[in-house]
Structure 1
Amino acid sequence: MKRANMDRSTGNRRDQVVYLAAAWCLSYPDGELVERVPLVRAALSEFPGALPGFAPVLDLLEATPPMDLQAQYVREFDLGRRHALHLSYWTDGDTRRRGEVLGYFKEAYRHSGVLVDLDGELPDYLPMVLEFAARVDGAAGRDLLQRYRASLEMLRLGLLRDNLPHARILAAICATLPGKSPQDEQEVMRMAGYGPPTESVGLDPYDPRLLPVRRS
């Protein structure tokens, strides 16, 4: 991600560190990420209570052989949709409406004067949104996260259900946003303004991936 200018928001420094640490910890675990673990620990340690939510994943990155780390990541985040890291997947699924939503993310990046190298990813890829919020435009990035709060919560609950340590990282992200996190999927549906989608492709009309986001 190449910045055309520095972060113009006044953003909370703690939140910026949480967002960047989360962006890295939710990314594919290559050698560069493993080398960053001490830096992530040091940055989070500057803020009381920030490190514990990340410690299990950081420990995993340091203690697990690289090939095992990568195989686990692909299995949990790439091969299936139970832990989809693309925010609009949870709200729009495989619908034609999703194209319009992806355009919304691109527009947010453009308005901030940033040149984004998608590197083969869609613009709603959570690590990319988090890095945008941390490094480029805190206000616009937080707005994207809040707008797709239901997606974050559904991902958090899915990770928690499958006993994956990344659930605590999602909890840390959600803790930077207004309001308490829902306890279950039904509460997330109520948060989002639940109702069947107007059009879907190959998915059940009440599939939780198709939660409509309440527009302000």
Structure 2
Amino acid sequence: MDRSRMFQLTSLLLTYPDRELVEAGGELRAASAGVLGDFLDWLLTTPLIEVQRHYVQTFDLRRRSGLHLTYHLHGDTRKRGMALLMLKQRYRAHGLRLADGELPDLLPVVLEFAASAGPGDGEAPLRQHRQGIELLRSALHETRSPYAQVLDLICDALPPLTAADRAAIAALAVDGPPVETVGLGPDLTAPYSTCGNAEVSR
């Protein structure tokens, strides 16, 4: 499987699973070229409602395994807002338009961009957010999620981690993302997000 097809496939598999995705099982197996066999077996043989429940519990209700990559590195800080803006500008330069309300650091979006824009500029966001991707992979392995196999495939396609990468990832795993209080929300308990549409519930 070439890199572009692999990124396109993993982007699709990391979106919310619906009936249309499951009914395309034959095409998914053909596109996977023999990889992701265990994941596809789980996806296509588990009742859809259970797959959907697992997806929500894994990616929407647990911050450590959220799909928004900039959160892992920057938390809800001004730096995250800048990182989101830079991603939007990169996508716009290549003609990629986001759906309404969709954040540019959502891993399926980053993978779609890598598939469409090619190995140079297209894969740059994956390399830049490698630490977040590795933290996500680790969290999925900790919970024994079938989605860990999808993250393994993505990480295997990226450059090897350096010693500095591993040290930074270990520190983030212990300390969590940075916190920056820039003002209280209407209930005077929760800080406003500094990047607009960020999903702070993750």
TM-score, length-normalised on structure 2?
Answer: 0.78
State the Cα deviation string for residues 53-110 of structure 1 (Å, max 9, x = none): x222211221112222111111111122121101101011111221111001101101
Identity of aligned residues (%): 38
Matches of 1:16 and 1:118, distance apart in 2: 21
Alignment of 1:173-192 (within 5 A): 173-180=154-161, 186=167, 188-189=169-170
1:42 aligned residue: 30
1:20 aligned residue: 8
Matches of 1:198 and 1:93, distance apart in 2: 5
1:86 aligned residue: 68
What is the DSSP-based 3-state SS (H/G/I as helix, E as strand, rest coil) of the residue aligned with 2:24? helix
Residue 30 of structure 1 aligns with an amino acid whose one-letter code is D
Cα distance change on mapping 1:71 and 1:177 into 2, 3 Å:
same
1:104 aligned residue: 86
| Corresponding position: 1:121 with 2:102 | yes
Runs of 4+ displaced beyond 4 Å: 184-187, 195-199
Residue 110 of structure 1 aligns with an amino acid whose one-letter code is R
For structure 2, which runs of at least 5 residues remain unmatched after alignment?
A: 182-189, 192-202
| Corresponding position: 1:73 with 2:55 | yes
Contact 1:153 1:181 in 2 (8 A): no
| Corresponding position: 1:164 with 2:145 | yes
Matches of 1:67 and 1:199, distance apart in 2: 35
Matches of 1:167 and 1:122, distance apart in 2: 22
Partner residue of 1:146 out of 99, 104, 127: 127
How big is the shift at 1:181?
8.2
Matches of 1:160 and 1:167, distance apart in 2: 6
How big is the shift at 1:26?
1.0
| Corresponding position: 1:31 with 2:12 | no
What RMSD, in angstroms, separates the aligned Cα atoms of the two structures?
2.9
Matches of 2:170 and 2:91, distance apart in 1: 28
Residue 36 of structure 1 aligns with an amino acid whose one-letter code is A
| Corresponding position: 1:200 with 2:188 | no
- Aligned positions, number: 181
Residue 173 of structure 1 aligns with an amino acid whose one-letter code is I
Contact 1:174 1:181 in 2 (8 A): no
How big is the shift at 1:156?
0.6
Matches of 1:63 and 1:128, distance apart in 2: 26
